[in-house]
């Protein structure tokens, strides 16, 4: 019998738990979780995005997204605005406080990412390709099952 701790899925999960623990420690001082930081990153890239655009980019379910945005809004980091072209559409905008915090968190994330890339060295690109292969394989399996 093969040792399950050598399975790709097990190693990915185990590693991701360590990554999340490390990131959560850094995010605690900002009062946001990882998914909320992804919302801020999306808005740094494209302020005024819709919730659907953010959900798709950050891979956050709509039901969770609304609750997270509510908290970010209460904390004064984002604000909802009706779209001037279509009043049914709500766009999310960073406040000055949200932009500053988003940039600080993004800087920490960039530092960690650069550390990983440095440690991976010459295999960094191949490692990322491998992760994409795993992701695409799972997408294909999901499509086959439905």
Residue 8 lies in a domain: no
pLDDT tens-place string over residues 106-116: 999 999 999 99
Q: What is the structure's pLDDT at 111?
A: 96
Rounded CA-CA distance 70/62 in Å is 12
Mean of pLDDT over the chain: 95
pLDDT of residue 43: 98
What per-residue confidence (pLDDT) applies to 85? 82
Q: Is residue 3 part of a domain?
A: no
Mind listing the pLDDT tens digit for each residue in 57-107?
999 998 899 999 999 999 999 999 988 888 788 899 999 999 999 999 999
Q: Is residue 2 part of a domain?
A: no
46 contacts: CB under 8 Å, gap ≥ 6: 53
Q: Is residue 50 part of a domain?
A: yes
113 assigned to some structural domain: yes
Give the residue, 32 or 85, on which the prediction is more confident. 32
Structural domain of 74:
17-145
Question: Buried b vs exposed e over 59-85: b needs ≥16 C-beta within 10 Å?
Answer: ebeeeebeebbeebeebebbeeeeeee
Indicate whether 131 belongs to any domain.
Answer: yes
What pLDDT, on a 0 to 100 scale, did the predictor assign at position 81?
92
CATH number of the domain encompassing residue 106: 1.10.10.10
Separation CA 66–CA 4 (nearest Å) = 37
Does residue 10 sit within a domain?
no
Instruction: Give a yes or no: residue 90 inside a domain.
Output: yes
> Considering its fold, how many domains does the chain have in total?
1
């Amino acid at each position: 019998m093969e040792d399950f701790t050598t399975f790709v899925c097990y190693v990915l999960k185990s590693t991701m738990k360590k990554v999340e623990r490390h990131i959560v420690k850094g995010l605690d001082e900002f009062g946001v979780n990882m998914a909320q930081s992804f919302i801020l990153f999306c808005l740094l890239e494209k302020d005024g995005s819709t919730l659907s655009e953010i959900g798709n980019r950050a891979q956050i379910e709509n039901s969770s997204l609304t609750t997270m945005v509510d908290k970010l809004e209460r904390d004064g980091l984002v604000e909802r605005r009706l779209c001037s072209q279509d009043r049914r559409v709500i766009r999310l905008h960073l406040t000055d406080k949200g932009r500053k915090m988003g940039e600080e968190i993004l800087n920490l994330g960039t530092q960690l990412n650069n550390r990983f890339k440095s440690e991976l060295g010459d295999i960094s690109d191949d490692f990322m390709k491998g992760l994409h292969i795993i992701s695409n394989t799972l997408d294909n399996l999901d499509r086959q099952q439905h």
